[in-house]
């Protein structure tokens, strides 16, 4: 997978992981999404490739809900 593909995947993870019902099933290669309280799992490789996108999106959604 090239860097562009990983970034795109990380971006989609960042967008989809803010709701408790989204994400992927727990298992090898997945991790608990930070800030989800354990209710959401995301692919570890995508998160590690672009964790900034995940946190930017998480903080933007929290800010929008205030």
The model's pTM: 0.54
Q: Where are the alpha helices (DSSP H) in the chain?
A: 3-16, 44-49, 51-64
Would you state the pLDDT for residue 65?
Answer: 87
Q: Could you report the average pLDDT of every consecutive run of 10 residues in the chain (66 residues)?
A: 48 47 74 92 94 93 88
Q: Which two tokens stand for residue 1?
A: 């997978």
Would you state the pLDDT for residue 6?
Answer: 47
Contacts 24+ apart (CB under 8 A), 54-59: 54/10, 54/13, 54/14, 54/17, 55/14, 56/14, 57/11, 57/14, 57/15, 57/18, 58/14, 58/17, 58/18, 58/34
Do 57 and 15 form a contact (C-beta atoms < 8 A)?
Answer: yes
């Amino acid at each position: 997978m090239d860097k562009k593909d990983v970034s795109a995947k990380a971006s989609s993870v960042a967008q989809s992981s803010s709701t408790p019902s989204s994400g992927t099933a727990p298992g090898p290669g997945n991790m608990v999404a930070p800030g989800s309280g354990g209710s959401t799992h995301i692919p570890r490789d995508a998160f590690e490739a672009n964790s900034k996108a995940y946190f930017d999106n998480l903080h933007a959604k929290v800010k929008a809900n205030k």
